[in-house]
Amino acid sequence: MIETPVSNPLLAGLQEDQLAQPCILVIFGGGGDLSKRKLIPAIYNQSLDGGLPASFALLGLALQEMDDQGYRQFAREGIESFSRQPLDEQHWPDFERLLHYEPGSFTDPQTYQRLKQRLEEIDQTFGIPGNRVFYLAIPPSLIETCVQNLNDAGLVYPVEDAQHFSRVIVEKPIGHDLQSARQVNDVLGRNLDESQIYRIDHYLGKETVQNILAMRFGNTIFEPLWNRKYIEHVQITVAEAEGVGTRAGYYDHAGALRDMVQNHILQLLTLIAMEPPWSMKADVIRDHRQNVLNCLRPITPEIVNQHVVRAQYGPGYHGGFDVPGYRREEGVGPDSTTETYVALKVFIDNWRWAGVPFYIRTGKRMTKRASEIAVHFRGVPPVLFNADPSHPIEQNVLALSIQPNEGLSLRISTKLPGPKVRIFPVKMDFRYGSTFGDQSPEAYERLMLDVMAGDATLFMRRDAVESSWMFIENILDAWNSSGVRWLPEYTAGTWGPVEAERMIENDDFRWRLL
């Protein structure tokens, strides 16, 4: 029987000294889509759940001309449309008084002087001791300008200041290749201490992703088996049902490898493959994740065609409608070679994982939206119940569902009822929604609360960003020098190209159907 959880799961995992501290959250790009759809609803849900610090305020900064009341209406519309929890009319007056707005240009130094004065006024009103969290929901090209102006205006406290803190959240992408990522990190490093920088990857805030460490190191039945002796291979799938939509301008310069593998998927890989940490401190966890990246076997140009498959979605049928192929999407060139699907076979060259393949796939316009990590254990010997080669027993599989239905399942073999000995695979299922009742907090809710608490565990450090780029840059270089003019296509609404099927079937495995 599972015990009833505490009323606020966001606070349950935080130690007393890790609770969110009083602060003002300043959102650069506060009038944008990310703020409306994700950030403001996340703060609202934290407010409903009692997770915000006692002294807190939010200020949006953007080019749009708006006053506080206009911004509160903007926030209300976002909450009504996108919040995990519905808008509570009784709670709304208390929440909207926390919201403020300042119009201004990110490139104008005068904007930062006005911002400084406004923040000091809000401090006085709400009893906030000068603490600041700056969320840069802006294009990467503006990061240098913003952090430099924040520093010049005296809005970034030195890290040695024990009385106040300044923390800066940076959205992905961090660069578009290794060189540009280093340039962004150099800019951040010149103006901020590494401990003040929170590079956000919302995948790491998802409940099932956070649960990977608890599942591995909180259960004796898993960790002793978590190695090459018992695990045959691992599959990581991040499938998207939608096409490029309005992101074609960005996506056609990025592609699936840059957009998903470099950040989200490699970070999932590190959590699945890392060694047991000696502490749950942020840098201990991040050191262990980094060690996995250090052990990734490079995919050199000589082997890229055997270890990597890329493709584009073609015309198809999805959601009851005919949909165009990628090269016919608005904003995409008819001769584009940008991949909307990529599959990789990856090896981690360390003692634990030597010889175990990790298969990664991600793509747009696939059958459905689903993200999963599936750990395939080695089969039982061909004796006893597995003696008939024409009817082999299915292997044990531990599957962690990241979205949309967060949870995990374990496939085991059992005997069918009756006098004959017939073995049948069954699943033992756990789902957050059915076990704990309420919806799991969304990723941004947890991650912003962590920044307010000063907990960087679920954020990417500089070395992780650059190591990830280093790994995929070998692949990008091989593609750029290949002279390929057309990519294979897969029909929209399917699980990907036949070339990806062949890659995994050459090793006598198959992709899981989700």
Task: Report whether 100 belongs to an annotated binding site.
Answer: no
Residue 477 · residue 484 · CB < 8 Å: no
Task: Report whether 240 belongs to an annotated binding site.
Answer: yes
Task: Report whether 202 belongs to an annotated binding site.
Answer: yes
Any alpha helices (H) in 131-177, and if so which ranges? 143-152
Residue 253 · residue 338 · CB < 8 Å: yes
Which among 264, 288, 318, 376 is annotated as catalytic?
264
Of 230, 211, 257, 269, whose CA–CA distance to 430 is shortest?
211
Task: Report whether 368 belongs to an annotated binding site.
Answer: no
Task: Report whether 108 belongs to an annotated binding site.
Answer: no
107: CB partners within 8 A, 6+ apart: 142, 145, 149
Question: Residue 481 burial (CB < 10 Å; 0-12/13-18/19+)?
Answer: exposed
Sheet of strand 99-103, all strands in order from the earlier edge strand to the far edge: 99-103, 56-62, 23-28, 132-136, 166-170, 197-199
Residue 153 · residue 135 · CB < 8 Å: no
Q: How far apart are CA 137 and CA 135, in angstroms?
A: 6
Q: How far apart are CA 149 and CA 132, in angstroms?
A: 15
Residue 264 is among the residues annotated as catalytic for this protein: yes
Give me the amino acid identity at 372. E
Q: How far apart are CA 460 and CA 205, in angstroms?
A: 12
Q: How far apart are CA 356 and CA 157, in angstroms?
A: 47
Residue 362 · residue 313 · CB < 8 Å: no
Of 374, 346, 370, 375, whose CA–CA distance to 359 is shortest?
346
Side-chain half-sphere exposure of 42, counting CA atoms within 13 A: 22
Q: How far apart are CA 74 and CA 448, in angstroms?
A: 20
Residue 96: in which H helix or E strand, if any?
Answer: helix 92-96
Which residues on neighbouring strands pair with residue 359, listed in sequence order?
Answer: 235, 345
Task: Report whether 94 belongs to an annotated binding site.
Answer: no
What the block records as the tokens of 199 is 């590079």
What the block records as the tokens of 391 is 């009817």
The catalytic residue positions are 264
* Numbered residues of the known binding site for NADP(+): 172
* Numbered residues of the known binding site: 172, 202, 206, 240, 259, 364
* Numbered residues of the known binding site for substrate: 202, 206, 240, 259, 364
